[in-house]
Structures are given as structure tokens and as C-alpha cells.
Structure 1
Amino acid sequence: MGIKRSLVLFLSSYGCFLFGQEKVVDTIYIFDSQMNKVKLFHPVKTISTEDAQKNSSNLSELLRFQSAVYIKENGRGAVSSPSFRGTTAQQTAFVWNGININSNFLGQGDINNISLFGYDQIGIKAGGGSVTYGSGAIGGSIHLNNNLDFNKGFHGTLFSEVASFNTYNNLLKGAYSNEKFSFKASGNYSVSENDYEVKEAKSYINRNGQYYNTNFNIAAAYKIAPHHQVSWISEFFNGQQHYPVLFDNETETKYRTQNVRSLISWDWNKTQFNNSFKAAYTEENFQYFAKADGPQTSGGTGKNYILKNDFNYFFNSKWNFNVIGEYQLNKGEGYGSGIDHVSRNMGSVSGLLRYFPATDLRLEAGIRKDFVGKISSPVLFSFSGKWNAVDWYTLGLSVSRNFRAPSFNDLYWQPGGNMDLKPETSYQFELRNQFKVGDLQMSVAPFYLDIRDMIRWLPTFSGYYSPVNTDHVRSYGVEAQMEYMKRFGKHLLKGSLGYTYTNSQDLEKKKQLMYVPFHKFTGNIDYQYEFIKVYVQGLFNGLTYTDSNEKRSEALENYFVMNAGLGLTFHKEYTIGFKVNNVFNQVYYTMFAYPLPKRNYSVSLNINF
């Protein structure tokens, strides 16, 4: 009975469906079956739907103010890319319900072409994770997760917001569940003229900056037998961005994208083992218009067919063995890029062994081998440990080898594609120190990354650019986080403060990489009294170079930006919100020549039913 009880406690932390003595214990079903296992060893910052509404403009704004990630954005709502711990956008994995969705062509995700709403949680994990999540998970990963619950009946949410620059955000979400069946659907529509002005920045006007996007999610789960469940989720995204121009006489351009993602899962859960089998299809379509009112000039279609199996076996209360197998068929067809019909087979096998010798100690070791077409991929490994040394102090250790496979553009773009490219590889080390004193929690995590064979596009003697394995980059620094929560009577106070120092250098030039700030601070304070909620957000970003030679005249100066919001809730179901972004009217950039908006406002209504 002791072993079974320990197993049940261990499994419950996974968020799985448990079957102790042939009796079902209902929990929330999470499509990413690995996420709660990852959380046993690594901190994952989780952003709820309510927190996402504080930064409702787009996913870029959310990550900028609520995470340690640096976001480079070519003007609000335009092309946007992340940087974890001094790495590049290609070295960040976007994971949708356990499936890597980085573009086949670019090898990265465009943040502003990923919906902010429609997910139940957004998870942010710093550090390498290729053993679990594959190519691109070098600097970190961003997780877009949905879940389904049972025995909750019907409930829904309507969120509607009107903001500056003729911006409108609308979300409608509904769910129904009983003992065996769960269903959820949501729709989101965002549109903006986005014509803000920044007179102090050479009288900048965000010309041709308008955008819109729609996103639909639908999910269902059914318990077909006591230990078996089938689940399905699909997402449909359609968006259009106009790219800002600096002068009236410049040609206006635009970009359209349509993405489809669909996943079917069969889960078999017993006390001693559980197995999750997934079949997924993802598709990306994009079109670029060199003249906004003209015909398409380039584009592409990428399709991925994915099979994935995740098997867990529990030898006893101390030992757990996990095997993950995955197969992908990647297809691509370019337009205006010289890429014809291309395809490649990708497969991987991962094994993870977890050991729990005591209640205050847990260890995990993993190994993975990828098979990527004709590319020679390295053997990857990971080791993680977590030790609750005393009541107020926990020590965590993480060591791993990670990689990124070349993208279709790297391999096949004409002219310039290089079929002889090697994958990028990295070694990562992190030592996390966590402290807890009363209602205050703190963590300090030094980190170190060594990245080899970084793929960079360089000019050739023939006059065009071609990718080669050149750079050797070392990045080191520290991430610190402090959180406080106190409830006294009808009052609730929550606060968080984060700091990141990053030194990331090309070892040949001995210079800081471009668009990697040395310092970043984020702070959030929430206060609630009965029906009143107030919050304040702060962001400080240090000096950021925009070229590879540390040219001071073209660097982005440090800045501090603060947002504030107020929410009033009536009858527990109706909330009226008012928000001021950039309270101090700061002029600031995350990308050279493209300032972000000064002070702006929004009013919102949220109804729960």
C-alpha cells in the first residue's frame, strides 16, 4: 500500500488520470503530457488567461513585460522574434500542446503571427530542452497549452476591448463537460489601424502599420473506457500585417499567413504505467506582397505529419522510466524563393530515467537521438536534479546538450542554399538556488551556454548570401526572480520582480551579440480588495547593440516603461477594466528605427457565464 500511495502522489503531480483500485480520479486533462513532468525538475513560468489580458495587444507585449525574454519587434504588431539568454529566434522552440511548431522555412516562430488568446496557459521555460522538445529548444521554449476538464457543466467567457489607434480585441470562449465528455471552443478577433505617432523620434509615424488576425480553437475529449480516453484539438489562424515604412514615398508592403494545427490523442492510464499516442498535422501558409495592393511576390506552404508516442513505466515508488518516440514527415513548397517541392523525414527516440530516492530529492537523466534526413545529428543528453536541502532552500542543477536542425531556407533557398550544413549544437549548464522566507520566494540561477556551428548567412564571391556554420558563441549570466503573495482579510497583495544579466559574445569578435541587452528588469504588482483590482507593471531594458561591432551610435538606449490597470467586478461575473500603457510617455525601441507607442489607453469588458 505504501508503494501504491507513493505512486499515486507521484502521478498526481503529472496531472494524469489515475486509476487506484479500479476507481477513476478526475483531473484536468493536459494535451502536453510532458509539461507537468518537466515542472518536476525545471521552473516554468505560467501565464494564465487573466494575466494575459493585462498585455492584450499581442503575444510580444505579454512576453516583454511578464518574462525574462527579450522581444525584438519591428514596430507594434509587425515582425517580432524572441531571444532567450543571448540566443537567437531560431534557438527558441514554440511548442503547441506538446508539438514543436517552428516554421519549416525560417526555423523560428513569428510571435505576432501566433494568437495571444485561445490558450488556457502560456508557459515559459528558460534553458535547453531538446531531449524532450527537439530542434530549436536551445535557449528556451514557449509553450501554448490547452486543457479540458470534466464534471464542470457549462461555462463561458466574453472579453471585449477597445484601445488606442482604433484597436479592437474580442474573445468568446465556451466549454461543457460531464463525467465522460468534455468540449471547449473559442474564437478571437483582433484588428488595429495601428497608426501611432512618436514625434520625438524624427516625427515618426507608424505608416502602413495596420493588422488583423482571427483565431479559432476547438477541443474535445471522451472517456471510452475506464482506463482509455481519446482527445482532439484543432486551431485555425488567419492574419495580415502591413509592414511599416519610414517615409511617405516608400512602397508599402504586406504579409498574410494562414496556419492550421490539429492533434488527436489516445491516452491509456494505469497505476503502474501510462501511454499517450498522438497523431498531429500542422500547416503554415504565407504570402508576401512587395506592393501592398499588388499581386503576391513570394510565399510558401509547409506541411508536417507527426506521430508521437510517450510511454511511462513505474518500477516502484522510486524509479520511473519514460520513452518518447516521434516521426515527422516535413514538406515544403516555396514561391519566389527557388524552393520547389522538398520533403524530409525526421525521427527521434528519447529515454528518460527518473529517480526519487527520498521525498526531498529527485533526479532525472535523459538521452535522445534524432534522425533528420541526410543530416548527421548529434546524440543529445540531459541531467537534472532538485534537492530540498532545508525547509527554506532548494538547489537545482541542469546540464544538457541541445541542437537545431537547418531549416528549409538554410538548405534549399536559391540561390544560396547549403546542403552541407551541420546542425547547431549547444552545451548548457544551470545552477538554480531557491529560497523561501515566509510569504517571500526568491531564486537565483547562474547559467552558461556554449553554442557551436551557429548557422549564419554570409555574402559569397558570386554576390549572393549563403548560410554556413561559422559562429562559436558563449553566453553566460544570471536570472533572478522574487515573488511575494499575502492575503490579509479582504486584501490580496501579489508582487514579482525579475532581473536578467546576459553576456553573449561571438568568440571570434569578442563583441556582444546584437539585440541582446546586458540587463533586463521586470516587475509586477497586483492588489485586490473585494471587487477592486489594481495592477502595475514595470520594464527596464539596458543598453542594446543593433550591430555585431558594438557601434555605440546605433545602439538602443536604456529605457523604463510602466503600465497600470484597474478592474471593477460586479455580481462576480462582470468586470470592467481600464488600462494605461506607457504611463510616463517613454520613447523606446526594441528594434532600430522602429519606436513603439507612447502613452495609450484601453477599456475592456469581461463577462463570465
Structure 2
Amino acid sequence: MGIKRSLIFAFAVCNLSLYFGQEKSIDTVYIFDNQMNKVKLFHKITTLNPADIQKNSSNLSEVLRFQSPVYIKENGRGAVSSPSFRGTTAQQTAFVWNGININSQFLGQGDVNNIALFGYDQMEIKPGGGSVIYGSGAIGGSIHLNNDLSFNQGFHGSLNSEIASFGTFNNFLKASYSNEKFSFKATGSHAISQNEYEVLESRNYINKNGKYYKSNINIAAAYKIAPYHQISWISETFDGNQHYPIFFESQTSTRYETQNFRSLLSWDWKKSKFNNILRAAYTEENFQYFANLNQPRTSGGVGKNYIVKNDFNYFITPKWNVNIIGEFQQNHAEGIGTSGIGDEVRNIASIAGLLRYITSSNISFEAGIKKDFVEGFDSPVLYSFSGKWKAANWYQVNLNLSKNFRFPSFNDLYWQPGGNPNLKPETSVQADMNHEFKVGDFKLTMSPYYIRIKDMLRWMNTPMGYWAPFNTNQVESYGLESQLTYQKQINQHHFKLNAGYIFTKSKDLEINKQLMYVPLHKVFVNADYNYRSVRFYIQGMYNGLTYTDSNEKKSEALQPYFVMNAGISGTILKKYTIGFKVNNIFDEIYETMAYYPLPKRNYSINFNINF
């Protein structure tokens, strides 16, 4: 599979060897997000496969916390959770599903624990701005949920079941079939947890009313209708229910429900000198909030998005290519109950152009420009530039510059009371430089960066006693992301190391103070050892002092913590695998959100069958 992916990557991006030769038909492995392979040429991307995700099978928050530079703020295990890249907020993080931005049109962000964990072939984490390709919200970084389809692979299937602490059960089923022209894949997952755990050392905390469940179904298919033409389709359905924790028995228990649907149809036309991908997508989000667990819903909303996107790539020469991306979408939103949001419609169009110079020699670059047309707003012209210089076999440097933006969400504009229809879009400029060193089997990447955000949208308390959004903040963020990787195989012994250190200084320039919930220091370490059919891994994550207010009060800050996990698994007859995991081995008391401790030591057992 690795060899196939390498061949696809070389064709899709460079097309060096086939330009003057015979034309090539659709690739053996089809990747829905065709832009990601090009992005990887110039940006540092953390790629997680299903085996990596399985290490932290509780939820997506755990995966990102232990295996990426992202800071995760979580209101208790499995509850509301939001990401932070490079000192920005959740609204400045784009979630991208197979190339389509899926941030909520109401909140302007993605709730990490209401996004499916299983069912994706790859999860990719990209720090840095990406609005030219991935649209509004891609300011601090983006999280990509990607699927692919293989041809000529026959039938494959697998079943994974896990039993874990706190009455937690996770099940995941996957099946696929493909021949020379047709490929089909279906996955389904279901997770449920009573989720009542105790951390008595932290204010006698008991995670009461913390129950959750979530289900996800993902279906994808592709058919080669002619040598150079392919029709592909992918659809995903998600259903989630979260009970919000309470601190006292006298409190009223509440819950939140959400149902999401996404469908993407794609027509790919690929020849040696050009390729064109036409997509039509529909996404829908539904949510309901229950202020009393056993009473009818209090508020909610329905959001529907209709998207048409065309991606045309033309190879002028084997080294030069032009990429034109046009998109139109219509956003519908209707609030229910106390939200005050009526039936709102917004039209959005954009046109982007990218010029790439890609060679197998020392220097490559990409320059992009984009104009968005957002109904009701003056949108800026966006740009991006990325360059790569391979100075030596052991050293290369990438430079990335960009201007990015985020337009206000429907809640920002219309929520009552407080919505502000006079808001301006956030804009940001950023620069980062990735230095990559290779010595033997070690690779070290060091990425200093700088971000400046103007007209940052922020909800603030008003003299009338309610909260409202304003364009108030000027934010400056700078720091360093570093990552060390190592892979080695000695006979049947496989070693793998992935470690990162992140320093983040993110200041509100009006008061010159560190932003809330932005730790100065974060360290994560993942180490794997495989011998024949036995696999062992450990994870460690250190998080430094984290302020929970705007005035850097150390008395209110989250204290530094170090958490370690470990797991072991063994495979029998090449089909049956059993594994055991211990999370938080040292019983660390820690919080990522004030007053919501995460669990102490806990355990899980998982079983996997391949057929």
C-alpha cells in the first residue's frame, strides 16, 4: 500500500514522468481530499492511521491530546471539547471532512467529542493557516478527516470491540470490496459510556450525569465509468447524546443531542496534462439542548449547507502547473426555541488560483490567491506562499506565508439576546519556517511561527447583563513547534518514536497578557515496539501552567501535569488480536478545563477480528 500511495502522490502532484508519455487512467487508490497530497509538499503534517487512533479510543479529544501539538479543552471526559492551535481558539480551527469544511454554521467551530472517532482511513493535523484552500476558520490550523477507496483488493472486513472503565463499550465494524472498476466501503461504530468517575482529591469531584453515546455510519463507493473518468460518492451519518456533568445533587441535570449528515458526490476527469474534479456536497447539522433532562427541548437549531466545488489542475510543463478552484455554497440556518435565530440564508462564493513549481531538485514553491464573496460582508483578498529548499541531503527548509480569515457565525450575528449583525470578519497574517534535519533514522523538525489576528471575534459581558460578540481583540501569537521521529527495523524488531515540544506565547495586545487556556509549554511522546505478532506502546503528555482568566492569575491557573498511558496487544493466526491498555498509569490529578477533572487510572480490553 505504501508503494501505491507513493506512485499516486508523484502523479497527482508532479506528473513528471508521464507528461510526455501515455495518458494515465484513474489512480488505484482514490483519495477524496485531492489537495492534501499537495499541501504535504510544503507543510508539516501529522498523519494518524487507524492503529494510531486505536491507542486513544475513548474519544477524539484523547487522540489529539496525546498525539498532536493541539491543546484540547474538555469539560470532563466525553463532554464539550474544543481545540486550540498555536494559541488561537476553537473558532480559528477548521475541521475538514474529505476536503469539505464542516465547522458549525451556528458556533463557527467543531465540537471535538461530537465528531466520529472511527471510520476514517487517515486523520491529518495541519498547523498554520489554510484559508486559500480550506476556507473560513482555517487560521490557527486544520484537522482533516480523510477517506480513500482502493481497487483490485477483493473483500476485507474487520470487527473491533472494546470494554473499558466507567461502563464504556466501543464497537467498530468495517467491510470493503473492490475489483478493477468498482470499489465499495462501509463502516459503522457505536460507543456508549455511563461515564461516572470520581476524583475525590479535586474538590470531591464525581462526574455525575456524564453519560454519553454516539453512533456513526460511513458509506463510500467509486466506479470507473471510462478510462479517464470516475464517479465517487461518500456519505456519513452521526448521532450523539451528551449528558452534562453536575456538581451537586440539587442541580438540574441537562443534556445535548446532535445529528449530523454529510454527503459528497465527485466526478473525476484525469489525463496526463490536466485533471478536473467536480464535487457536489450536502451537509446538515441538527442539535437540541434540554435544560431539564426529562423535559422537552429548550432550544436547538437546524443548519443545511449546499456546496458545489470545481478543482481544475493544468500542467503547463512537467515542472509548472496551475490550479483553479471555484466554489459556491448556500448556508441555511433555523433556530428553535430560545435561540432567537429565525430562518436565515447566506450565499458564499469563492475563486482561488494557485501556481506551483515542483521539481525533484532543490527548490519548489507554491503561490496562491483567493477572493471570497460572502453575502453581507466585505471579504479581504487572501494569499499564500510556500517555498521549499533542500539545501543538503540532511537539511531542508520550508517557508510559509499567508493571510486568512473567518466570517461571523449565525450565533454571532443573530443569537438573542446579544447577536450583532454589524460584526466584521476576523483576518490574520502568519508566517512559519519549518527546518527539517535528517540524521540516520532520526528526523527533527523545528517550526518557529508568528500569527497576528485583527478584529478577533469575542463574546463579552455587557452592562445589560447578557453576553454579546464584538470585534475587539488584537492578538499576537508566536512560538515554536518541534517534532522528533525515529523508525528502525532490526530483523523482526520494529521501533517507532514520535515526540514533540510546543512553546506558545499568545497575547491579547490590549492588556499584554497571555490568552486563557493557552499553555506556554506542551510535550508529547509516543513510542512503539513490535516483535512479530506482539505490539507494545507507551504515551506521555506534559502540559505546563495554563491560565484560566485574562489577567494571568496563578492562583486560578491549571497546574502543570504529566500523564502516561501504555498498551500491549498480540495477534493469533493473523486474524485475531487482543489488547490491554492502562490510561493515566500514575493516577495524575489533572484538568484541561477548570473544575472538570479528567479520570484517574483506568483500563480497557479490546478484541479485533480480521476476515
What range is the shorter-chain TM-score in? over 0.9
**Per-residue displacement from partner, 1:196-224 (whole Å, max 9, x unpaired)?**
10111121100000000000000000000
Task: Label 1:15 to 1:175 Cα distance change in 2 as closer, same or farther (>3 A).
Answer: farther
**Per-residue displacement from partner, 1:480-536 (whole Å, max 9, x unpaired)?**
000011100110011111000000000011110000000000001100111110000
Please give the secondary structure, in 1, of the residue aligned with 2:358. Answer: strand
Do 1:15 and 1:30's aligned partners in 2 also have CA atoms closer than 8 Å? no
Please give the secondary structure, in 1, of the residue aligned with 2:28. Answer: coil
- The CA distance in 2 between the partners of 1:213 and 1:8, in whole Å, is 35
Question: Which residue does 2:289 correspond to in 1?
Answer: 288
Residues 570-581 of structure 1 aligned to structure 2 (within 5 Å): 570-581=572-583
Q: Which one-letter code corresponds to 2:610 in the other structure?
A: N
Please give the secondary structure, in 2, of the residue aligned with 1:339. Answer: coil
- The CA distance in 2 between the partners of 1:23 and 1:350, in whole Å, is 26
- The CA distance in 2 between the partners of 1:563 and 1:273, in whole Å, is 48
Do 2:8 and 2:29's aligned partners in 1 also have CA atoms closer than 8 Å? no
Q: Which one-letter code corresponds to 2:386 in the other structure?
A: S
| CA positional deviation for 1:573 | 1.5
Question: Which residue does 2:543 correspond to in 1?
Answer: 541
- The CA distance in 2 between the partners of 1:152 and 1:388, in whole Å, is 37
Q: Which one-letter code corresponds to 2:260 in the other structure?
A: N
- The CA distance in 1 between the partners of 2:65 and 2:233, in whole Å, is 32
Q: State which of 440, 443, 448 in structure 1 corresponds to 2:442.
A: 440
* Identity across matched positions, percent: 65
Please give the secondary structure, in 2, of the residue aligned with 1:556. Answer: coil
Please give the secondary structure, in 2, of the residue aligned with 1:553. Answer: helix
Q: Which one-letter code corresponds to 2:92 in the other structure?
A: Q
Question: Which residue does 2:466 correspond to in 1?
Answer: 464
| CA positional deviation for 1:357 | 5.7
- The CA distance in 2 between the partners of 1:12 and 1:419, in whole Å, is 43
Q: Which one-letter code corresponds to 2:11 in the other structure?
A: L
Question: Which residue does 1:606 correspond to in 2?
Answer: 608
- The CA distance in 2 between the partners of 1:464 and 1:204, in whole Å, is 29
Q: State which of 401, 404, 411 in structure 2 corresponds to 1:402.
A: 404
Task: Label 1:25 to 1:322 Cα distance change in 2 as closer, same or farther (>3 A).
Answer: closer
- The CA distance in 2 between the partners of 1:358 and 1:35, in whole Å, is 19
Do 1:14 and 1:37's aligned partners in 2 also have CA atoms closer than 8 Å? no
Please give the secondary structure, in 1, of the residue aligned with 2:55. Answer: helix
* 1:121 corresponds to 2:118: no
Question: Which residue does 2:11 correspond to in 1?
Answer: 11
- The CA distance in 2 between the partners of 1:453 and 1:211, in whole Å, is 37
Task: Label 1:429 to 1:166 Cα distance change in 2 as closer, same or farther (>3 A).
Answer: same
Residues 316-465 of structure 1 aligned to structure 2 (within 5 Å): 316-335=317-336, 336-356=338-358, 359-465=361-467
Q: Which one-letter code corresponds to 1:451 in the other structure?
A: I
- The CA distance in 2 between the partners of 1:100 and 1:470, in whole Å, is 26
Please give the secondary structure, in 2, of the residue aligned with 1:348. Answer: strand
- The CA distance in 2 between the partners of 1:181 and 1:374, in whole Å, is 44
- The CA distance in 2 between the partners of 1:167 and 1:23, in whole Å, is 48
Question: Which residue does 2:595 correspond to in 1?
Answer: 593
Q: Which one-letter code corresponds to 2:564 in the other structure?
A: M
Question: Which residue does 1:65 correspond to in 2?
Answer: 66
- The CA distance in 1 between the partners of 2:214 and 2:169, in whole Å, is 11
| CA positional deviation for 1:456 | 1.1
Question: Which residue does 1:51 correspond to in 2?
Answer: 52
Question: Which residue does 2:3 correspond to in 1?
Answer: none
- The CA distance in 1 between the partners of 2:178 and 2:66, in whole Å, is 34
- The CA distance in 2 between the partners of 1:9 and 1:194, in whole Å, is 43
Do 1:91 and 1:404's aligned partners in 2 also have CA atoms closer than 8 Å? yes
- The CA distance in 1 between the partners of 2:142 and 2:25, in whole Å, is 33
**Per-residue displacement from partner, 1:13-65 (whole Å, max 9, x unpaired)?**
5799x895245374210111111111111121110001100000000000000
| CA positional deviation for 1:462 | 3.1
Task: Label 1:358 to 1:493 Cα distance change in 2 as closer, same or farther (>3 A).
Answer: closer
Do 2:15 and 2:272's aligned partners in 1 also have CA atoms closer than 8 Å? no
Length-normalised TM-score, structure 1: 0.97
Question: Which residue does 1:167 correspond to in 2?
Answer: 168
Length-normalised TM-score, structure 2: 0.97
Q: Which one-letter code corresponds to 1:603 in the other structure?
A: I
**Per-residue displacement from partner, 1:107-150 (whole Å, max 9, x unpaired)?**
00000000100111001000000000000000000000000010
Moved more, 461-470 or 582-591: 461-470
Do 1:208 and 1:243's aligned partners in 2 also have CA atoms closer than 8 Å? yes
Do 2:24 and 2:228's aligned partners in 1 also have CA atoms closer than 8 Å? no
* 1:138 corresponds to 2:142: no
- The CA distance in 2 between the partners of 1:275 and 1:84, in whole Å, is 32
Question: Which residue does 1:310 correspond to in 2?
Answer: 311
- The CA distance in 1 between the partners of 2:452 and 2:45, in whole Å, is 22
- The CA distance in 1 between the partners of 2:283 and 2:15, in whole Å, is 26
Task: Label 1:358 to 1:187 Cα distance change in 2 as closer, same or farther (>3 A).
Answer: closer
Moved more, 406-415 or 275-284: 406-415
Do 1:15 and 1:28's aligned partners in 2 also have CA atoms closer than 8 Å? no
**Per-residue displacement from partner, 1:408-459 (whole Å, max 9, x unpaired)?**
0111112221111110010010011000000000010100000010011223
Q: Which one-letter code corresponds to 2:302 in the other structure?
A: T
Do 1:580 and 1:599's aligned partners in 2 also have CA atoms closer than 8 Å? yes
Question: Which residue does 2:529 correspond to in 1?
Answer: 527
Please give the secondary structure, in 1, of the residue aligned with 2:548. Answer: coil
**Per-residue displacement from partner, 1:323-368 (whole Å, max 9, x unpaired)?**
0000010000001211010010011111000013662211000000
- The CA distance in 1 between the partners of 2:346 and 2:301, in whole Å, is 16
**Per-residue displacement from partner, 1:163-211 (whole Å, max 9, x unpaired)?**
0001000000000000000000000000000001011112110000000
- The CA distance in 2 between the partners of 1:573 and 1:404, in whole Å, is 47
Question: Which residue does 2:4 correspond to in 1?
Answer: none
* 1:93 corresponds to 2:94: yes
Do 1:561 and 1:582's aligned partners in 2 also have CA atoms closer than 8 Å? yes
Task: Label 1:309 to 1:25 Cα distance change in 2 as closer, same or farther (>3 A).
Answer: closer
- The CA distance in 1 between the partners of 2:412 and 2:152, in whole Å, is 49
- The CA distance in 2 between the partners of 1:491 and 1:330, in whole Å, is 52
Q: Which one-letter code corresponds to 1:11 in the other structure?
A: F
- The CA distance in 2 between the partners of 1:358 and 1:98, in whole Å, is 26
Question: Which residue does 1:3 correspond to in 2?
Answer: none
Please give the secondary structure, in 1, of the residue aligned with 2:25. Answer: strand
Q: Which one-letter code corresponds to 2:600 in the other structure?
A: K
Question: Which residue does 1:215 correspond to in 2?
Answer: 216
Please give the secondary structure, in 2, of the residue aligned with 1:590. Answer: coil
Q: Which one-letter code corresponds to 1:202 in the other structure?
A: R
Q: State which of 500, 519, 522 in structure 1 corresponds to 2:502.
A: 500
- The CA distance in 2 between the partners of 1:68 and 1:101, in whole Å, is 21
Task: Label 1:9 to 1:375 Cα distance change in 2 as closer, same or farther (>3 A).
Answer: closer
Q: Which one-letter code corresponds to 2:108 in the other structure?
A: G
Question: Which residue does 1:554 correspond to in 2?
Answer: 556
- The CA distance in 2 between the partners of 1:531 and 1:14, in whole Å, is 38
Moved more, 400-409 or 547-556: 547-556
Please give the secondary structure, in 2, of the residue aligned with 1:591. Answer: coil
* Structure 2 gap ranges (5+): 1-6
Q: State which of 485, 491, 496 in structure 1 corresponds to 2:487.
A: 485
- The CA distance in 1 between the partners of 2:282 and 2:447, in whole Å, is 37
